Structure 1
């Protein structure tokens, strides 16, 4: 489980803090969609905000 790896915790001890929250539902749905599409890697970069100079 990614959450366990992210926090260097045993998978058995990891739990969802807000399983009914919109953010959690989007994360789970998005992950399921990526898995169904065969995506094996996602890369993200920090972007600058529109007003940043």
Structure 2
């Protein structure tokens, strides 16, 4: 019985670890989305610079 309790406790720890890991990844993803939104559109900048150079 002691062994079974030990196994169950380890499983709970693993589940908690992966749930926490998933939450951290979600936060990182949200932060990256915010950064992406705040950055100017690189393609537009490149198009503008090409037209300015050719003028």
TM-score by length of 1: 0.34
Higher RCO (CA 8 Å, separation ≥ 6 residues): 1
Larger Rg: 2
More helix by share: 2
